[in-house]
Structures are given as C-alpha cells and as structure tokens.
C-alpha cells in the first residue's frame, strides 16, 4: 500500500484506512477536501462505459464520472477492483488510482454529474456488453443474446410498482414504490419526441423492448397511452358501451429514465 492512501473495495464496499485518532471508536464526521470530491466509502455501483471512464453512483444518490490516465479495460469485471485515495477521498488528482484487472490506473479527473448523465453512461456500458458490480435483480424473460444486460435502479424502474404519473415538459414523471426501486420514489421518463397523445390520456403503461420487465430507455421501450375513443356518430367518448372498446392505445418511444429528487 502506498503511504497515506486508503482503499475502498468496490465489490463489497470494504474500507481499509489508517487510525483516525478518534477515542474509543467514536464516529468522526468526514469533510471532503473539495466540494466535488467522491467519498469512496459510499460507492454503491461502478460502471465502465469506455476504457478511460468510470461512472460511480453512491449510497446517498450522488453521481460521479472519473477519468483515467490510460486505457484500463476490465476494471468492472474484477471482483477485487478498488479505488485508492487519501482518507478514502477521490478528487481527481495524483496519487489517486483505480486498481483492478492486474494493474493500477491513475485517476486524472473527478466530476460530479447528474442522474441523467449517469443513466446515459450506464446504458452505454450495458450496450457495450459491460457487466456491473452491483446489479439489481431483474425478473422476466430475456431474449437470446441479452444475457449480458444488467438493469439497475439508477436508470431503470419496474412498471409493476407504478403508483401514479404526471406529464412533464421533458416527458413523464412516474411515482413508484421506493422499497422496490433502490429508495427512489420518482423517475423522469424522457420520450423520443413530443408525445401529444398524452393530452387527455386516461391511463398509461409501459412495454419493455427487451422483454426484461423493466424500463430503462433501451431500444424498443415504449410508453403506452390509453385514452377514451370518441363515438364516430356523436363525437363523445364511449364509456362502457356494451360490446365495444372504450379505449384507444397509442405508443411513444422511451429515450431515457433516471431518478428525480
């Protein structure tokens, strides 16, 4: 171990640190060296969308992008991957580094990002066939060739836990069960284009383009809109007409999903 550095193992969030000097094990408040520093002790998930980039989500729903000095593929696939920095802080300056896949990779940048940016990076990692360290269990059939996909509550939600919804200038806000969504209660669902069919919608649903049972903004994910179909003769909605459907369905493609505070 290099002098003065602390290690955080990403696989299980174990931390090796020096003596903090606290008496009788009393907890000591941790103050970051700079506002944008990542507390590696809070890492909940790491994704690697490309060989020089790590995307990090923390247990308190903060998101970061780390830049590596050289190409370091395979970090996310190593169960013993770790982040090293003084007192467990990663601020994007030497001598911080990521260790894994048999090498040490210097960290040259650390940037706080929003949930939408993290979601995009994580989706990119999935589409490149990259595995995750802390995947969320997904129920539902998978199509052949999709075994490498791993959904996460940082950019996916399960429609079966949908509680309510409302229209938003950027798409739709859905409320879900926090218990089954990594503590997230609301998600913003961005659509591929303006979805005028939402006006007057009586209910909505979602269809997974990959038959995963979750909505992440993957190809084929759709918002399904049901609205009252007007009677051709009167122009009025058909509510409960015997033998005739009272609902008409329309679909809008889902571009992105991410938690909203």
* Assigned domain for 46 exists: yes
In this structure, are 120 and 170 located in the same domain? Answer: no
Q: Does residue 167 sit in the same domain as residue 122?
A: no
- Name the more confident of 158 and 137: 158
Dist CA 87 CA 191 (whole Å): 42
pTM: 0.72
In a domain, residue 138? The reply is: no
Q: Are both 48 and 123 inside the same structural domain?
A: yes
What span, in angstroms and rounded, lies between the C-alpha atoms of 68 and 109?
A: 7
Residue 176 located in a structural domain = yes
Residue among 218, 95, 100, 93 nearest 151 (CA)? 218
**Rounded to whole angstroms, how far apart are CA atoms 191 and 76?**
30
pLDDT tens for each residue of 134-154: 333 333 333 333 334 467 899
Residue 153 lies in a domain: no
What letter does residue 157 receive in the DSSP assignment? B
Angle at alpha carbon of residue 103, lines to 100 and 108, rounded to 5° = 85
Which pLDDT tens digit goes with each residue over 76-130? 888 889 999 999 999 998 899 999 999 999 999 999 999 999 999 998 888 765 3
Does 101 map to a domain? yes
Do 123 and 163 share a domain, yes or no?
no
Average pLDDT of the chain to the nearest whole number: 78
pLDDT (mean) for 53-71:
95
Asked whether residue 237 falls in the same domain as residue 195, the answer is yes
CA distance 260 to 63: 13
Number of domains the chain is built from: 2
Query: Could you read off the pLDDT of 198-211 as tens digits, one per residue?
Result: 877 888 999 999 88
The boundaries of the domain holding residue 252 are 159-260
């Amino acid at each position: 171990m290099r002098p003065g550095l602390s290690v955080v193992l990403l696989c299980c969030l174990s931390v090796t640190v020096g003596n903090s000097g606290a008496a009788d094990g009393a907890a000591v408040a941790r103050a970051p060296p700079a506002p944008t520093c990542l507390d590696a002790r809070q890492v909940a998930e790491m994704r690697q969308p490309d060989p020089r980039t790590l995307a990090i989500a923390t247990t308190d729903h903060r998101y970061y992008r780390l830049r590596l000095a050289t190409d370091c593929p395979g970090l996310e696939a190593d169960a013993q991957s770790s982040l090293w920095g003084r007192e467990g802080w990663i601020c994007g300056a030497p001598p911080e580094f990521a260790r894994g896949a048999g090498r040490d990779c210097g960290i040259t940048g650390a940037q706080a990002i929003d949930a939408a940016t993290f979601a995009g990076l994580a989706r990119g990692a999935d589409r490149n066939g990259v595995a995750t360290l802390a995947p969320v269990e997904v129920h539902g059939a998978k199509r052949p060739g999709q075994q490498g996909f791993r959904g996460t509550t940082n950019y996916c939600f399960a429609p079966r836990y949908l509680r309510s919804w409302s229209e938003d200038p950027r798409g739709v806000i859905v409320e879900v069960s926090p218990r089954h969504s990594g503590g997230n209660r609301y998600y913003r669902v961005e659509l591929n284009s303006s979805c005028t069919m939402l006006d007057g919608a009586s209910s909505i649903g979602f269809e997974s383009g990959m038959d995963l049972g979750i909505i992440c903004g993957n190809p084929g994910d759709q918002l399904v809109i049901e609205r009252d179909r007007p009677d051709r003769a009167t122009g009025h909605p058909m509510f409960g007409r015997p033998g005739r459907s009272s609902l008409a369905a329309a679909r809008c493609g889902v571009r992105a999903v991410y938690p909203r505070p």
